[in-house]
Amino acid sequence: MKFFDALQRIDRRIIYIVMGLLVIFPLVKPLGLGVSSGPRARTLFDAVDSIPAGRTLLISVDFDPSSMPELYPMLAALMRHAFARDVKVLLCGLWVTGAGLADKAVTEIPPEYGKKYGDDVVYLGWKAGIDAVILGMGENIKNVFPTDYYGHPLDSLRMMNEVVRLRDIPMAVAISAGTPGYTDWLNFAQSRYGLRLGAGVTAVSAADAYPYLQTGQLTGLLAGMKGGAEYEVLVQKKDYSRAYMPAVAAMDSQSLAHVVIMLLVIVGNIAYFATRKRGA
Amino acid sequence: MHVSTDILTWVAVVLTVGIFSFLWKDNPFYKFCEHLFVGISLGYFISLTWYNAVYPDLFRPLFVQPLSEVSLGNKLLFIIPLLLGLCYFCRFIPRVSWLVRFPMAFVLGWGAGVTIPAVLQTSIIRQMQGTFLTPGIFARWDVFLWAIISFVGVVCSVLYFFFSREHKGALKVASETGIVFLMVGFGASFGYTVMARMSLLIGRFQFLLRDWLGLIQ
């Protein structure tokens, strides 16, 4: 029984150290556990894959640096997928603190495919207003964003001559870390303008997104870093990209950490019930 | 191993270690990093709001652009949002603090009018439609099974929150079934939360091992 008492009094810092080591080890020496793609990621992939070349995919960057490890790999993989198929990418954001992250993606990814800013990709930036921004984009994007993130008038960007309002866009993907995010795109773009919408969300908010998937309001869902890894695998499988896959590289660590947490939960419960029985 | 020589990477490393130091115990270094984060976030927010919203959408057309570009009528229209915005600052002057009610009323009225029908359509009507048992569900056994589970789950979970009658007999059975569904939901949310927190930890270690130490590709 002393053993169970001791189990319940493990210093939390020991658990942190064990967890840290278990996360670091597979990053340095990958275990090669592999990543399989689930139906939700495949649905989103197929939907993006079906966008005709030359048309535009809208990506809403609704996250900030605190959720970057989970969501940035999704953004990068989606952009690579689109560019590999000659689909144009229009980016905007509902999170002011995420403006720099979309800028990073626009700077780094299009050159990999020889894509030119203004012709193949445009970043609108961020505007205050959330629902007013989305509703305004439904009427005329130029009214909401007269200039892009870098100050170029939208009229001077060739890609924006073909994209006037949301109805000109065959599909959008909202990559969201919370509110505002995919729910606002559902409320004001999907239900009002019929915009086909996929979502990439943090694992914390994934459970809330499933009902929208079941009703068909969302076309595909990427949940957390695992969702990003699934999409990276799909993109690489079709030979759309040979770039480094940060989410896939993290999956061994994620799996090990989950195993340890499950063990801790089981052992903790056994110890609790053993000592409670003795107390009773 | 190839340690980074980029000064910004080193700043990020020091701040990362500072935040992680809280895992050992609360300390002044952690507090410094936390306050720095809050301050920088707010400064970044204010700066972006000014350059992306206030200046291009209000200040520039009202005060900078000449009458040849923005007509007098449009300039006068811009005075309305300017005044409403300034009313927010009246909160700091007790004698006229009641003026803050005007922009609040505008925002609440507009927000409710726009949001309520949209949320009703997206999150209630479409979700209710999703629980309907239609002839299509009999096409495949797995679709039928999930449709029944969804239907029972929704009905029982809603009955758990029905407080106008004591939970006895059939109502008790239904509401307790509802608890089971709620617990499954909470369990799924907790599992996803663990996954999310681990992802963030892995992201930071990836930064330390790749960008700083150059230990991984």
CB-based contact A70:A102 (threshold 8 Å):
no
Nearest CA-CA partner of A107 in A75, A134, A71, A147: A75
CA distances (Å), origin B128, targets A127, B102, B123, B125: 33, 37, 8, 5
Residues 6+ apart with CB under 8 A from B50: none
> How far does chain B reach from its first CA to its final CA, in angstroms?
10
Q: Tens digit of pLDDT for each residue in A54-107? A: 999 999 999 999 999 999 999 999 999 999 999 999 999 999 989 999 999 999
In a domain, A87, yes or no: yes
- Sheet with A221-223, strands from edge to edge, namely A121-126, A88-93, A56-62, A171-176, A197-201, A221-223
Distance CA B72, CA B61 (A): 10
In a domain, A160, yes or no: yes
In a domain, A63, yes or no: yes
Interior/surface letters A186-201, b for 16+ CB within 10 angstroms, e for the rest: bbbbbbbbebbbbbbb
In a domain, A100, yes or no: yes
Nearest CA-CA partner of A210 in B125, A201, B119: A201
In a domain, A76, yes or no: yes
Tell me the nearest-neighbour CA distance from A38 into chain B, angstroms: 16
* Structural domain containing residue A172: 39-251
Q: With CB atoms and an 8 Å threshold, state whether B119 touches A187.
A: yes
Interface confidence (ipTM) of the complex: 0.88
**Location of structure tokens 């009905």:** B155
**Residue A277: pLDDT above 80?**
no
**Residue A18: pLDDT above 80?**
yes
**pTM reported for the whole predicted model:** 0.91
Residues 67-106 of B with CB under 8 A from A: none
pLDDT of amino acid A128: 87
The residue ranges of chain B whose pLDDT is under 70 are: none
Q: With CB atoms and an 8 Å threshold, state whether A125 touches B52.
A: yes
| Preferred mutation among A184, A191, A217 to probe B, highest tally of B CBs within 10 A | A191
Q: Tens digit of pLDDT for each residue in A109-157? A: 999 999 999 999 999 999 988 999 999 999 999 999 999 999 899 999 9
Nearest CA-CA partner of B196 in A70, A185, A100: A70
Q: Tens digit of pLDDT for each residue in A23-68? A: 999 999 999 888 989 999 999 999 999 999 999 999 999 999 999 9
pLDDT of amino acid A1: 66
- Spell out the domain ranges in chain B: 132-217
| Preferred mutation among B122, B137, B143, B200 to probe A, highest tally of A CBs within 10 A | B122
**Location of structure tokens 């005060």:** B63
Please state, rounded to an integer, the average pLDDT across all residues of chain A. 93
Q: CATH number for the domain including A192?
A: 3.40.50
Distance CA A67, CA A71 (A): 6
Residues 181-240 of A with CB under 8 A from B: 183, 186-188, 190-192, 202-204, 206-208, 211-212, 214-215, 217, 223-226
CA distances (Å), origin B63, targets A144, A179, B66, B80, B98: 20, 34, 8, 14, 28
pLDDT of amino acid B134: 82
Distance CA A275, CA A174 (A): 48
In a domain, A174, yes or no: yes
**Residue A199: pLDDT above 60?**
yes
**Residue A279: pLDDT above 80?**
no
pLDDT of amino acid B132: 84
In a domain, A135, yes or no: yes
Average pLDDT over residues A1-28: 88
Residues 6+ apart with CB under 8 A from A39: none
In a domain, A176, yes or no: yes
CB-based contact A206:A182 (threshold 8 Å):
no
Q: Is B134 helix (H, G, I), strand (E, B) or coil?
A: coil
pLDDT tier, A183 (very low <50, low <70, confident <90, very high otherwise): very high
Count: domains in chain A: 1
Interior/surface letters B59-76, b for 16+ CB within 10 angstroms, e for the rest: eebbeeeeeeebeeeeee
